[in-house]
Amino acid sequence: MVPTDALQADEIRERMAMVRQRIDEQSDEVVAQVNALSDWRSYVRRHPWVWVGAAAALGYVLVPSRKKADAEYSTLNTKEQPAAFTTDDLRSVLIGATRRAATAYASRSLAGIASSFMAAEDKG
Protein backbone atom coordinates (compact mmCIF):
# COMPACT_ATOMS: atom_id res chain seq x y z
CA MET A 1 0.00 0.00 0.00
CA VAL A 2 1.13 3.51 -0.90
CA PRO A 3 1.05 6.02 1.93
CA THR A 4 -1.61 8.75 1.65
CA ASP A 5 1.02 11.47 2.02
CA ALA A 6 2.68 10.26 -1.18
CA LEU A 7 -0.67 10.30 -3.02
CA GLN A 8 -1.39 13.80 -1.82
CA ALA A 9 2.05 14.99 -2.91
CA ASP A 10 1.58 13.44 -6.37
CA GLU A 11 -1.84 15.06 -6.71
CA ILE A 12 -0.41 18.42 -5.72
CA ARG A 13 2.39 18.08 -8.29
CA GLU A 14 -0.11 17.18 -11.02
CA ARG A 15 -2.33 20.12 -10.13
CA MET A 16 0.64 22.48 -10.09
CA ALA A 17 1.73 21.23 -13.51
CA MET A 18 -1.79 21.85 -14.84
CA VAL A 19 -1.84 25.34 -13.32
CA ARG A 20 1.53 26.17 -14.89
CA GLN A 21 0.29 24.98 -18.26
CA ARG A 22 -2.85 27.14 -17.98
CA ILE A 23 -0.77 30.15 -16.97
CA ASP A 24 1.47 29.69 -20.02
CA GLU A 25 -1.54 29.47 -22.33
CA GLN A 26 -3.25 32.47 -20.78
CA SER A 27 -0.09 34.58 -20.84
CA ASP A 28 0.29 33.85 -24.56
CA GLU A 29 -3.30 35.01 -25.08
CA VAL A 30 -2.68 38.18 -23.08
CA VAL A 31 0.45 38.97 -25.10
CA ALA A 32 -1.48 38.50 -28.35
CA GLN A 33 -4.28 40.78 -27.13
CA VAL A 34 -1.84 43.48 -26.01
CA ASN A 35 -0.08 43.35 -29.37
CA ALA A 36 -3.42 43.69 -31.16
CA LEU A 37 -4.47 46.64 -28.99
CA SER A 38 -1.16 48.46 -29.40
CA ASP A 39 -1.19 48.25 -33.22
CA TRP A 40 -2.31 51.71 -34.39
CA ARG A 41 -2.97 50.42 -37.89
CA SER A 42 -5.88 48.30 -36.66
CA TYR A 43 -7.59 51.42 -35.31
CA VAL A 44 -7.10 53.19 -38.64
CA ARG A 45 -8.47 50.18 -40.54
CA ARG A 46 -11.56 50.01 -38.33
CA HIS A 47 -12.32 53.76 -38.34
CA PRO A 48 -10.67 55.35 -41.40
CA TRP A 49 -12.95 58.40 -41.66
CA VAL A 50 -12.39 59.36 -38.05
CA TRP A 51 -8.65 59.43 -38.67
CA VAL A 52 -9.04 61.37 -41.91
CA GLY A 53 -11.11 63.95 -40.02
CA ALA A 54 -8.59 64.06 -37.17
CA ALA A 55 -5.71 64.55 -39.60
CA ALA A 56 -7.58 67.32 -41.40
CA ALA A 57 -8.38 69.08 -38.11
CA LEU A 58 -4.77 68.73 -36.98
CA GLY A 59 -3.53 70.11 -40.29
CA TYR A 60 -5.91 73.05 -40.01
CA VAL A 61 -4.66 73.84 -36.52
CA LEU A 62 -0.97 73.39 -37.28
CA VAL A 63 -0.73 75.16 -40.63
CA PRO A 64 -0.64 78.95 -40.19
CA SER A 65 -3.08 81.10 -42.13
CA ARG A 66 -1.82 82.53 -45.41
CA LYS A 67 -2.14 86.17 -44.32
CA LYS A 68 -0.15 85.58 -41.15
CA ALA A 69 2.53 83.56 -42.97
CA ASP A 70 2.83 86.23 -45.71
CA ALA A 71 3.10 88.97 -43.10
CA GLU A 72 5.86 87.11 -41.25
CA TYR A 73 7.70 86.50 -44.53
CA SER A 74 7.48 90.14 -45.59
CA THR A 75 8.78 91.35 -42.22
CA LEU A 76 11.80 89.08 -42.53
CA ASN A 77 12.63 90.43 -45.99
CA THR A 78 12.60 94.14 -45.16
CA LYS A 79 15.70 96.27 -45.23
CA GLU A 80 15.28 96.99 -41.54
CA GLN A 81 16.22 93.50 -40.40
CA PRO A 82 17.85 93.27 -37.00
CA ALA A 83 21.50 92.30 -36.84
CA ALA A 84 20.76 88.99 -35.11
CA PHE A 85 17.75 86.74 -34.64
CA THR A 86 16.05 86.90 -31.29
CA THR A 87 14.90 83.87 -29.37
CA ASP A 88 11.32 84.54 -30.49
CA ASP A 89 12.42 84.60 -34.13
CA LEU A 90 14.23 81.30 -33.74
CA ARG A 91 11.25 79.77 -31.95
CA SER A 92 8.95 80.97 -34.74
CA VAL A 93 11.17 79.42 -37.41
CA LEU A 94 11.37 76.12 -35.53
CA ILE A 95 7.62 75.99 -34.96
CA GLY A 96 7.01 76.67 -38.64
CA ALA A 97 9.43 73.96 -39.70
CA THR A 98 7.87 71.52 -37.26
CA ARG A 99 4.40 72.31 -38.57
CA ARG A 100 5.48 71.79 -42.16
CA ALA A 101 7.16 68.50 -41.30
CA ALA A 102 4.10 67.29 -39.39
CA THR A 103 1.82 68.27 -42.26
CA ALA A 104 4.03 66.49 -44.78
CA TYR A 105 4.15 63.37 -42.58
CA ALA A 106 0.37 63.39 -42.11
CA SER A 107 -0.13 63.81 -45.86
CA ARG A 108 2.17 60.89 -46.65
CA SER A 109 0.50 58.73 -44.02
CA LEU A 110 -2.98 59.52 -45.29
CA ALA A 111 -1.90 58.88 -48.87
CA GLY A 112 -0.53 55.48 -47.85
CA ILE A 113 -3.70 54.64 -45.94
CA ALA A 114 -5.91 55.74 -48.81
CA SER A 115 -3.91 53.72 -51.33
CA SER A 116 -4.05 50.62 -49.13
CA PHE A 117 -7.84 50.96 -48.84
CA MET A 118 -8.16 51.45 -52.60
CA ALA A 119 -6.05 48.36 -53.20
CA ALA A 120 -8.15 46.38 -50.72
CA GLU A 121 -11.36 47.48 -52.44
CA ASP A 122 -9.96 46.54 -55.86
CA LYS A 123 -9.14 43.04 -54.61
CA GLY A 124 -12.39 42.48 -52.75
Enumerate the domain spans of the chain: 1-38, 43-123
pLDDT number for residue 108: 83
Helix (H, G, I), strand (E, B) or coil at 1: coil
Sign of the torsion formed by the C-alpha atoms of 91, 97, 103 and 106: negative
**For residue 80, pLDDT beyond 60:** no
Rounded CA-CA distance 56/44 in Å is 14
Query: What pLDDT score was predicted for residue 78?
Result: 56
Contact 92, 72 (CB under 8 A): yes
pLDDT tens-digit readout, 90-100: 788 888 888 88
Ranked by mean pLDDT, the top range of 11-15, 72-76, 103-107 is 11-15
Task: Tell whether the torsion through CA atoms of 16, 19, 25 and 26 is positive or negative.
Answer: negative
Q: Which of 1-5, 24-28, 50-54, 90-94 has the lowest mean pLDDT?
A: 1-5
